[in-house]
Copies of this chain bind each other. A is one copy, B any other.
Amino acid sequence: MTHRPDDAAEAGRRLRADARRNRARILAAAEEVFAEKGESASTEEVAARAGVAIGTVFRHFPTKRDLLAAIMKELRTRLVDEAAALSADAGPAAAFFDYFAFMVERAARVRTVLGLLAAEGMGAEPGDQIRDLEQVVGELLEAAQRAGAVRPDVALDEVMAILTATCQGALHGAWDDDLRRRTLGIVFDGLRPRA
């Protein structure tokens, strides 16, 4: 009937090569467009930017909401993956703070990170992606606390709250690199143990 869309792709079922290419293109275009104009941007513009017809967008994402949800999911996956790289490259203290800064820097560019962090009820389907963003941050946090780089009395939900807030601030406030660095400095000071 209606093309058993997108989740099929997610679930790993086979898609034709060109379909997969288009799906990726659409996601990329959508991320750009929604990043620039907010989620009230039109689906038609997404299609145009992706270089496909409007119907193709619909085939992959039957609803605008589905498209938005797919962007979030994709982005979350990417961010989680990048966390792994960071924690491999650096010691636990650096890993935590680097990841925090990294996400905020991302947010300054990509408006959609917002929705990702705010979760906004968009089907997170816990379990279908074992390592969720919050879990990743939790791991980095614990490691940093064990290493004495973060106050032991700070809980994960507070960290997520501050991370979210900082990302949103960075985005909407259009901070430049310097302001971001100084702002993060204050936040990080709040997280570090008192001398």
Contact = CB atoms under 8 A, between A and B. Distances in A.
A40 B38 CA distance: 11
Interface residues of A, number: 38
B157 A1 contact: no
A84 interface: no
Contacts of A158: 179, 182-183, 186
A35 interface: no
Contacts of A172: 114, 117-118, 120, 164, 168
Nearest to A2: B44
Interface of A: 1-2, 40, 42, 44-45, 48, 114, 117-118, 120, 154-155, 157-158, 161-162, 164-170, 172-173, 175, 179, 182-183, 186-191, 194-195
